[in-house]
Each structure stands twice: as C-alpha cells, then as structure tokens.
Amino acid sequence: MVMHSHIGVLAFPFGTHATPLLSLVQKLAASTSGVQFSFFNSSSSNEKIFSTYVSGTFDNIRAYDVWDGTPEVFSGTHFEEVQLFLDASPMNYEKAIEEAEAETGFKISCLLTDAFLWFGCNLAEKRGVPWVAFWTSASCSLSTHLYTDLIQDAVEHKGATAEQKLSFIPGMSVVNFGDVPPEVFHTQNPTSLAVTIYKMVEKLPKSTAVVLNSFEEFDPIIAKDLKSKLQQFLNVGPLILSSPTPPSSVTDQENECISWLERQKDPKSVVYISFGSVAVPPGNELVALAEALETCKLPFLWSLKHQAMKLLPEGFQERTREFGKMVSWAPQLQVLAHSSVGVFVTHCGWNSILESVCNGVPVICRPFFGDQKLNSRMIEDSWKIGLRVKGGVFTKSETINALESILSGESGEAIRKNVNKLKEKAKDAVESWGSSSKNFTTLLEILSGAKGNTRT
C-alpha cells in the first residue's frame, strides 16, 4: 500500500466507548486507499474489541497499546481505574504515537480521538494537523455539556430547581434540570471525569469536526443548534447499519441464546434484560425485577453477571426455567434483531438505545449514571419510544405496569409505532442519498485532505 495519510486514532478504553470508534475506523478503512490507521487504546480494551470485531481483514488498521496507568496488581473500582488512566494521559498516548510513527516511517497527519480526550486538540496543534473528535453518546447529552455554563448559572444564581425545564436549550424543552448528567456541574462535583468533560467543552469549538454515531433525523432541532456552535457537526450513524461486519466465529453462548429465542412461540413477546458492561442494579431491585417476571410469567432472556445472580430470590431460576433464561452474556445485536423480542429493559446507554431503535424494539429504562437519566427522559417524553421505571428504581408493581403497558397496552402500540418510524429514518440516513452518508463523505474529505506523507 502506498501511504498518503497516517491517521492516529485515540480511544477511551472504558464502557463501550472504544467499540463504536473502531466501527467508524473500519468503515473509514474500507472506504479509503493509501490511508493507515493507528489505533491507540489500552491493551485490555484492544484485546477485547479486536478479538470480537475481527479486523484482520483490514491491513490498514494497526492496534497499539497505551499504558492504562494501573499497577500490575489492581483491585480498585471502575471509577478509580478511569482516574488512573486520565492521570497517565496524554504521555501514554504520546509515547505510543512516537512508536507508530517510527514503525510506519510516516508522521501522523490527523488525529481522530474520543471526544473525552480533549488533549487531542493540543497534540494536533503541536503537530499542525486536524483534530476530529468522536462523541460516543447522543446529541442531547453533548448539547447539555456545551451549555454547561448556562445550566450552572441557572442553578447557582437564578435558583433553578430540579423539576424546572431546560427551555433555553433548543430541542431540550422536555428535559428537567434534574435529568442533566452530574458531570455538567463540574464546580459542585469536581470529579476527574467532570473536569475532563469541561476541558473537552472548551476545546471542541477548535476541532475540525465533531462526529457522532447517530443520525440528524433523531434530534433535528438539536442537530441544527450544534451545527451553529461547531465548525463541522457530522452525524454518520447508525454505524451498525453501515459499517462492514468482519467474519466472526459463533460462540456457544450465542447459539444458546438464539436457539432459546427460536423456541418461543409468539412474536414480540420476550423481555430482554441487560444493563451493559458496568452497571448492576442493587440487590433489592434485582429481587423486585425477578418477582415481577415470575408473577407475569412473561418469557424473558436476562443477561446478568454470575456474581449478581446470587442476589436473586432463592429458587427463582428453577421456578422460571420453563419460560425464562438466565445468561452471563448475550449477543445483544442478534437478540434485539430476533422477531420474538418485544421489549428491552436497559440502563439507557447510547449504544443500547441505537441498537434497540435499529431493530424496532421499545425500551424500559432504569438509568444509573452519566447521560443515562437524560437519555431515559428523551426516550419517554421526546422520542416516545419507551417508558421510564417510575421513581427511577425497580419495584415489583411498577415493573409489572411497565411491562404490561409495552407488551399489551394501547400505549405500547403507540410506542412501537414510534420506534419503528425512527428505525425507518435510521435506515434512510445510511442510504447513499441519506444525511449520514453525506456527512460521512465530508469526513472522508477531511481525512483525505490531511496529507501526511512526511517521512520520519
């Protein structure tokens, strides 16, 4: 391959941040020639995503490990791990970038980074190359962060309460101040992540482009507003509908889940439950959810870590074996695509929401942290594609009400129609004439214009 450009890709190795960024890089790699992508990420995250998303078919993508900041023996929490990683940055990335430049013989010509990695702006300026930031969540959460100063001023100096609406932010009139991600209030809640995101807010207007794994028609008012605030605001998703899917071997767990779904008699009847890779409801809520499922006798597929399964009511799995299935991991995309699945009980992470929309599956929301509470508000009151658990926690009675509303009530029919309308808009967006495809072409032009064939 004759190299024309060398793109440095900086991933944030926590939650599900790195996976959609790799999907974007795979799509870019399949759409360009003469461009080398160096993917910088922690060794554990690289090992996980490169084994799951087999990118051996892309000879122009090379993974490089960056130090994650943790000692050899580490038993801290997820949030302590994030803190150590941020403390080790950006020196860990700079070292890996130097390694990639030496190995390829070409200087980096553009930096494509997770938006959290605000120092990508400084690294790009230092090299005199473009910086493209990839925001891995919804446009609504990006909007709240960009309006941080106004939101904080309204609370600290104008007495705004948790129940008041963000009426001054375009497209956010249904959102309460209490729904805003806690990281927005970085002066009151100065966690390392809150400070990191605020630094990102200061840098994003300098970026050549901000890229999202979404589509403009999801939130057109917010998209229009963000276009006025950023040099380029490019929705290029949903990537699961348009990125090349590398071949992968089918695991026993995948076969087990899909085989079970195939045995379900009624379409759109199964309750699929998963709270992502980080969040686990407290024991009393797991019990309430289990009791609701057992009372309703609805067919369910529940993905839950083995350790958390110990918190379920004694004998629950045995008593529900005829209509329910517990697994420690499920192939979520394949599950949501199955015709027997009727509702998704979720933590409201953005990737899960997109996957649900792309498969026309309504959701029941139990948010935990970050942008999840905001997402759940938009799901129920703006997009109208699901319901929030009343009070924000699982109780037996309210969980039963939510399940019955989605699966058999009139409100469930309206919700299903709404999510299917969004599904069609998502499919249109990635067609050759669609908004996401046009934005992707713009992104390709930015990268192809970043000529960097200067040898080291």
Instruction: State residue 187's pLDDT score.
Output: 86
186 belongs to the catalytic site: no
- Of 65, 68, 114, 219, the catalytic one is 114
Structure token pair of residue 241: 């509908």
Taking only the tens place, the pLDDT of each residue in 354-364 is 999 999 999 99
Domain spans, the chain: 5-237+431-448, 252-427
More confident residue, 144 or 189: 144
- Concatenated DSSP letters of 431-450: STTSHHHHHHHHHHHHHHT-
Whether 235 has a pLDDT exceeding 50, the answer reads yes
Terminal-to-terminal C-alpha distance of the chain: 18
Q: Are 15 and 43 in contact (CB under 8 A)?
A: no
Residue 189's contacts (CB-CB under 8 Å, 6 or more residues apart) are 182, 183
Whether 249 has a pLDDT exceeding 90, the answer reads no
Quote the mean pLDDT of the chain: 91
- Of 6, 17, 186, 338, the catalytic one is 17
Instruction: State residue 48's pLDDT score.
Output: 87
| Residues 32, 355: Cα–Cα separation, whole Å | 26
Instruction: State residue 242's pLDDT score.
Output: 86
Structure token pair of residue 149: 């100063």
CATH topology agreement for domains 5-237+431-448 and 252-427: yes
Instruction: State residue 451's pLDDT score.
Output: 55
Whether 403 has a pLDDT exceeding 90, the answer reads yes
Q: How far is the CA of 426 from the CAs of 218, 355, 365, 368, in angstroms? A: 8, 11, 21, 26
pLDDT-above-90 percentage for the chain? 76
Tell me the pLDDT band of 247, cut-offs 50, 70 and 90. very low
Strands in 324-327's sheet, in edge-to-edge order, are 324-327, 300-303, 270-274, 341-346, 363-365, 386-388
From the candidate CATH numbers 3.40.50.11440, 3.40.50.2000, 3.30.1950.10, 2.40.50.140, the one assigned to the domain spanning 252-427? 3.40.50.2000
Instruction: Give domain 5-237+431-448's CATH architecture.
Output: 3-Layer(aba) Sandwich (3.40)
pTM: 0.92
| Alpha-carbon torsion (304, 310, 311, 317), positive or negative | positive
Instruction: State residue 53's pLDDT score.
Output: 60
Tell me the pLDDT band of 6, cut-offs 50, 70 and 90. very high
Q: Are 38 and 110 in contact (CB under 8 A)?
A: no
Whether 278 has a pLDDT exceeding 90, the answer reads no
| Residues 244, 23: Cα–Cα separation, whole Å | 8
Q: Of 276, 434, 271, give the one whose Cα is nearest residue 351.
A: 276
Question: Which residue carries 């926690």 as its tokens?
Answer: 393
Instruction: State residue 124's pLDDT score.
Output: 96
Instruction: State residue 197's pLDDT score.
Output: 93
Taking only the tens place, the pLDDT of each residue in 287-298 is 999 999 999 999
Instruction: State residue 5's pLDDT score.
Output: 87
| Alpha-carbon torsion (98, 99, 101, 102), positive or negative | positive
338 belongs to the catalytic site: no
Whether 211 has a pLDDT exceeding 80, the answer reads yes
